[in-house]
Amino acid sequence: MTTSTSLAIIALPMDLGAGRRGVDMGPSALRLAKLAATLQALGYQLKDLGNITVGVAEALEGGEEKLPYGVTIAKACQELYLTLSKLDRDTMPIILGGDHSISMGSVAGVAAQTPKGKLGVIWLDAHADLNTPESSPSGNIHGMPLAHLLGFGSEALRQIWGGGAVIEAQDLLYIGLRSVDPYEKSLIRHLGIESYTMSDIDQEGIPSIARKIISKFEGYDQVHLSFDADALDPSVAPGVGTPVAGGLSYREAHLLMELLARSGMVTSLDVVEVNPILDSKNRTAEVMVEMVASLFGRTIL
């Protein structure tokens, strides 16, 4: 569980980086699922900073560009970056998306707060999100945030934080991968990014992999967890834009959150890609709130 008792929720309700509409309503769904009340019941002081303003696709130009809506996405992510970089360091941010392109703002923002520049990132996702504009099969920016955070891709998007790389390959760890494009596979191998696929989870189990994660980030000043709802199996979280069969079970995901909570290592959090349009009775948002509760210390006994 985080050592901070003060939390801040901030949302970027954006679906411009995704191939399907609807994740812009994810923050509202998570709030409706009683995220704030759940965390307050665990003893946290919480403030909701509201939403970063972003346009909707129907009212914007740029959808047909090489980087669809790239200018608008960069502007919104930069606002998120600036907001987080000015946040009181004693307050732990929870960033609600929106599609996963928002992490260009969230990771850069918390990195700007890291006192010694040592930020670790856990990417909990079915996808690697490591494509560049040149390699991307779809052109959707939500499949590119990590490439840009590592210093690849479009200079225009890297200007969100002023250019260059935010993190190095050794600062990143994947868990839950099961849908990775050929370019991403080659880059993961080339950079030596530590990765735990669903096959690894099947073979080793969550407790073993959690111990490795905790060991890797021991000594880091801050650790950011970027949690994409599609890391979960679609039977658990149906309301996501890019579901992939064979994901984390309900208990596997809870156990991972519980073990990370015991370590006290996570200092900031993304919750992204909840799509109420594709959901049933807000089930996915409710499941994600339960996951957040476990990460923040809720236990069975």
> Considering 15, 24, 127, 254, which one is annotated as catalytic?
127
Which uninterrupted H or E stretch holds 59?
A: none
Q: Collect contacts of 205-208 with beta carbons under 8 A, ≥24 apart.
A: 206/252, 206/255, 206/256, 206/259, 207/255, 207/259
Catalytic residue among 15, 99, 125, 270: 125
Q: Is 142 assigned a catalytic role?
A: yes
Name the catalytic one among 184, 270, 273, 279: 273
C-alpha 42/C-alpha 39 separation (Å) is 5
Would you call 127 a catalytic residue per the annotation?
yes
- Which is catalytic among the residues 15, 24, 171, 228? 228
Assess whether 65 carries a catalytic annotation: no
Which residue out of 24, 100, 184, 286 is catalytically annotated?
100
The beta strand positions in the chain, using DSSP E, are 6-12, 45-51, 91-97, 119-124, 172-177, 194-197, 222-228, 268-272
Please state whether the peptide bond connecting residue 70 to the residue before it is cis, i.e. omega within 30 degrees of 0. no
Q: CA–CA separation, 237 vs 51, rounded Å?
A: 24
Q: What is the CA radius of gyration of the chain?
A: 17
> Within 10 A of 242 (CB to CB), how many other CB atoms are there?
23
148 is catalytic: no
Classify residue 9 as left (phi > 0), alpha (psi -120 to 50) or beta: beta
Instruction: List Cβ neighbours of 299 (8 Å cut-off, separation of 6 or more).
Output: 258
Active-site residues, by number, are 100, 125, 127, 129, 142, 228, 230, 273
